[in-house]
Amino acid sequence: MILQGENVLKQYHHNGGLINALNNVSFKVNKGDFVTVTGPSGSGKSTLLLSIFGLIRLTSGTIIFDGKRIDNISDRKLTDVRKKSVGYILQSFALVPYLTTIQNVMIPLALEKIPKKEQYKRAAAILDYVGLSDRMEHLPRELSAGQQQRVAIARSIVHRPQIIMADEPTGNLDPSLSLEILDFLKKINRDNKITIMMVTHSPVAAEYGTLKLHLNEGKIVESSKVKLYSPELLNN
C-alpha cells in the first residue's frame, strides 16, 4: 500500500456554520493504482486531492504515505515530501508564462537543487517521452492546449514522483485531446508504476480508473476496484 487515509475530516467555517467538505473519509491506495475520484460539484473532490499532501490542512484524521504518517508533520517536512514524491497536474496547466517549455519542465529539478546541466538533460529526455522535443524553446502561449497540458505532465513527472495528483487534467480540453492526455497518463502509470489519483467530471475519464472513488457530500459513497490487466494482455 502506498497511501492510506483514515477518518479524514475537513471542516470549513462559513458564515458562523460548519461545512463538512470531507466527512470521515477512509481509503486505501496500492502502488500502481490509477485512482479516479468522481462526484457532483461541491462533493469534496478537490479538497480531498489538495489535503492529502497538506496543501490544505485537515481538521482531523490520519494520512499514511509510503509507510509514514504525514498528517501531523511540519509544513517544512510536508513541502519536502511534495518536492520529492508528488507531481501535481491542474486543469489550468499552471505553466509559468515567461519560461520556455524546457525551463518550465526544469522547475521541479531546480527546487531539488540538481545541477543545471543535469536538469536540462533530464527535462529534455522527458520532453522527448511526451513527444515535444521540437517545442523545447517555445513559450506556453506558442503551444496548443494539448501541448501545454503535455508540458504540465512532463513537469509533474520529471522528478520521478511516486504519485501524481491530477485535478480535472482534461477539463479544459476538447474530447479528442482529452483522450490523448488520458492515454498518456495511463502510459505513465503503466510504464513507470507511478500511482495516479485523478479528479474528473467525465465518465469517460473515470473509466481509466483501477480504483474508483465516488464522493457525495463529503463522503465516499462508492468504491470499486478493477482488476489490473495481466502483462500478457497488454502486449496485444
Ligand X SMILES: Nc1ncnc2c1ncn2[C@@H]1O[C@H](COP(=O)(O)OP(=O)(O)OP(=O)(O)O)[C@@H](O)[C@H]1O
- Among 38, 43, 170, 195, indicate the residue that binds ligand X (CB under 6 A): 43
In angstroms, what CA-CA distances link 207 with 12, 27, 41, 226?
31, 19, 19, 10
107 is a site residue for ligand X (CB under 6 A): no
Nearer to ligand X, 39 or 169 (CB): 39
Question: What gap in Å lies between CA 181 and CA 160, rounded to an integer?
Answer: 18
Among the listed residues 36, 43, 46, 195, the single contact to Mg ion using CB under 5 A: 46
Residue closer to ligand X by CB (options 151, 215) is 215
- Which residues lie closer than 8 Å to 157 by C-beta, 6 or more apart? 87, 126, 164, 188, 192, 194
In the bound state with Mg ion, the residue whose beta carbon lies nearer, of 16 and 203, is: 203
Q: Which is nearer to Mg ion, 43 or 210 (CB)?
A: 43
Least gap, CB of 96 to ligand X (angstroms): 24
Count of residues engaged in binding Mg ion, rule: CB under 5 A: 1
Q: Are 223 and 38 in contact (CB under 8 A)?
A: no
Distance CA 90, CA 149 (A): 9
Closest to ligand X by CB, 62 or 202: 202
* CB-CB contact of 151 with 101 (8 Å): yes
Q: Give the one entry of ligand X, Mg ion, none that residue 140 binds, where binding means its C-beta sits below a cut-off of 5 to 8 angstroms depending on kind.
A: none
Using CB under 6 A as the binding rule, whether residue 87 contacts ligand X is answered as no
- Is 41 a binder of ligand X (CB under 6 A)? yes
Question: If contact means CB under 5 to 8 A according to the sort of partner, which of ligand X, Mg ion, none does residue 12 touch?
Answer: ligand X
Contact positions vs Mg ion (CB under 5 A): 46
Instruction: Please give the residue ranges that form the binding site for ligand X (CB under 6 A).
Output: 12, 14, 19, 21, 39, 41-47
